[in-house]
Structure 1
Amino acid sequence: MTAETFVTHAPGDVRIIADRHGDPDARAVVFLHGGGQTRRSWGRAAAAVAERGWQAVTVDLRGHGESDWATEGDYRLVSFASDVHEVLRTLPPNPVLVGASLGGCTAMLLAGELAIGAASAVVLVDIVPNMDPSGAQRVQAFMAENMESGFDSLDEVADAIAAYNPHRPRPADLNGLTANLRRRGDRWYWHWDPQFISGPDHQGPMEIHDVERLNTAVQTILDSAVPMLLVRGQLSDLVSAANADEFLTRFPRVEFVDVAGAGHMVAGDRNDIFADAILDFLDRHSC
């Protein structure tokens, strides 16, 4: 299925790039990637959703992929949420939000604070407000390690990813890695703005550490009778079993799928199980 790329102009005239899979008049499932990723990370899941009659929309968050970098280095969570809200305005009513990590926090703030009622359902992919701080630090350290220096080769990129995700098989064809990279001179660099990590704290997504604010947003979403699903990778170091249990005890109406053999990058590790979990959730709620 060929994707259609479209552009949304967000506040500050930041261009947000997204792909549309499927019927543009159908209800939309909007996929929001994690920090340091791009809309390409959802390719197979988006195709599966579109094949079931949905419009699947994959978004490059500001500073990532082909979307504009914020000229003032504004990567606050509220700014990500505001951008996505503008994308939703271009789509049919009652979209579903699927957000991984940073994208999940963005979905919480958007549907539970900025635009209550804007989403008909929310899926959180390996993210909860009470995430494990050590796991979050490991993610940030991985992103920062080669941020400025870049990589000599795609083999070096693959080595770095394998060290971070040892449970995931090393790809036989390294060309697929270029979706997350930019070529400058004779070196490869991650396809996101370094200010997302290295900029001043007041311009970064520090809201992800405001547990009570995000918990309040989740409660608002549930109080609005919006169904919510948490999909966790069993090998995740960002959302441990204890983190998930604490979240589900606080919010017993949230549904839960624990994906064996998957780490923090659930959709990439076990796309088959991930896509089935999303589609089953949508079918059961007639979203």
Structure 2
Amino acid sequence: MFEVVPRTSRLKTPDGLELAVDTRGAAGGPVLLFAHGFGQTRGAWSGSAAALAANGWQCVSFDSRGHGESDRVPGGGYHIEQFATDLAIVAAAQPDAPILVGASMGGLLGLVVAGEQRPTPFRAMVLVDITPRWETAGVERILAFMQAHPDGFSDYAHAAEAIAEYLPQRRERKTEDQLRPLLREGDDGRLRWHWDPALLAGVVSDSERYQPRLMAAAAKVDVPVLLLSGGRSDVVSRATVEEFLQLVPHARHVELPAATHMLAGDANDAFTREIATFVRDLDRHDARPGIAAG
């Protein structure tokens, strides 16, 4: 059995911030680099990362700047170039080119890095319910939830109730232990989300203006790609998936019918199984005579 308890470290960015990074699994195994969505933390990957690490892969997850235990930008000046640079730095810090698993924002940043940086720092990519063009209504629903409690919560039960209303498909409410990494206690005793409120005025403001750049980047991606989408997602649709597959004709697409935009939480076993299948196929391909790994 391989080590599944994360080893936490700090990685410094060129502008002096520190990112919180978790590493699980066997050194020397294929590296899976997990990049979370907007408003999430590296904890969103805990179940999948532990399961995959137990199978011999090295799993690396990190908090993006302004999220979780990573530093916030002084003055709140966030922009896409910072996040893309951070992702590239975490990828470069790995012993081998990693396989990126990027959810939502993490997947979009992966497209920017993979399409615009040469050589591409990823061996392959798994995009989790995101395409270069997305459904506006779904993103607006996410942002409405993030903006809904500016004064925070009185206690963990209050926060759990808010999440249950936002994710009615989840049968179990989050416990205090599960919520603790997602919330910070302020000087007033109120609990607020772990992310920097300045993010809402930075990266996500007029985010659709990035779509032409994202589509151009996607068309230049030259590594194996798996797109996982939720059959009940309101962020990705059949139209956006078909458009993506035209931009990246070598990509594979798998839909998890019961999942919403929150694939890893809604259908974690199926989600993890699809990633494992994709990685094993890559390993078999790279092991064929005459084919170089990486």
Return the alpha-carbon distance in structure 2 between the equivalents of residues 116 and 76 of structure 1: 23
Structure 1 counterpart of 2:172: 170
Tell me if structure 1 keeps the 8 A contact 2:24–2:59: yes
Structure 1 counterpart of 2:292: none
SS in 2 for 1:30: strand
Change (3 A) 1:173 1:207: closer
Structure 1 counterpart of 2:95: 92
Does 1:241 pair with 2:238? yes
Q: Which amino acid aligns with 1:175?
A: D
Residues 60-119 of structure 1 deviation map (CA, whole Å, 9 limit, x = unaligned):
000001000011423212211101211122211221111101111111111111454210
Runs (4 or more) in structure 1 with deviation over 6 Å come to none
SS in 2 for 1:45: helix
Does 1:284 pair with 2:293? no
Tell me if structure 2 keeps the 8 A contact 1:8–1:17: yes
Structure 2 counterpart of 1:34: 37
Residues 227-250 of structure 1 deviation map (CA, whole Å, 9 limit, x = unaligned):
001111111111123322332244
Q: Which amino acid aligns with 1:166?
A: P
Does 1:77 pair with 2:74? no
Q: Which amino acid aligns with 1:213?
A: R
Percent identical among aligned pairs is 38
Structure 1 counterpart of 2:21: 18
Structure 1 counterpart of 2:192: 189
Alignment of 1:43-192 (within 5 A): 43-146=46-149, 148-171=150-173, 173-184=175-186, 185-192=188-195
- Deviation at residue 32 of structure 1 after TM alignment: 0.5
Change (3 A) 1:28 1:253: same
Change (3 A) 1:152 1:186: same
Structure 2 counterpart of 1:220: 220
Structure 2 counterpart of 1:252: 249
Return the alpha-carbon distance in structure 2 between the equivalents of residues 88 and 106 of structure 1: 12
SS in 1 for 2:233: coil
Return the alpha-carbon distance in structure 2 between the equivalents of residues 108 and 116 of structure 1: 13
RMSD of aligned C-alpha atoms? Answer: 1.8
Return the alpha-carbon distance in structure 2 between the equivalents of residues 252 and 227 of structure 1: 10
Tell me if structure 2 keeps the 8 A contact 1:77–1:208: no
SS in 2 for 1:12: coil
Return the alpha-carbon distance in structure 2 between the equivalents of residues 238 and 207 of structure 1: 14
Return the alpha-carbon distance in structure 2 between the equivalents of residues 208 and 32 of structure 1: 20
Q: Which amino acid aligns with 1:215?
A: M
Return the alpha-carbon distance in structure 1 between the equivalents of residues 139 and 12 of structure 2: 30
SS in 2 for 1:220: coil
Return the alpha-carbon distance in structure 2 between the equivalents of residues 10 and 245 of structure 1: 36
Change (3 A) 1:265 1:235: same
Tell me if structure 1 keeps the 8 A contact 2:182–2:194: yes
Tell me if structure 1 keeps the 8 A contact 2:5–2:50: no
Q: Which amino acid aligns with 2:196?
A: D
Residues 145-192 of structure 1 deviation map (CA, whole Å, 9 limit, x = unaligned):
11x311112222122212221111132634312221112242110001
In terms of mean alpha carbon deviation, does 264-273 or 203-212 score higher? 203-212
Return the alpha-carbon distance in structure 1 between the equivalents of residues 83 and 158 of structure 2: 31
Scaled by the length of structure 1, the TM-score of the pair is: 0.92
**Count of matched residue pairs:** 280
Tell me if structure 2 keeps the 8 A contact 1:77–1:105: no
Structure 1 counterpart of 2:227: 230
- Deviation at residue 208 of structure 1 after TM alignment: 5.6
Does 1:264 pair with 2:266? no
Scaled by the length of structure 2, the TM-score of the pair is: 0.90
Q: Which amino acid aligns with 1:163?
A: E
Return the alpha-carbon distance in structure 1 between the equivalents of residues 193 and 65 of structure 2: 14
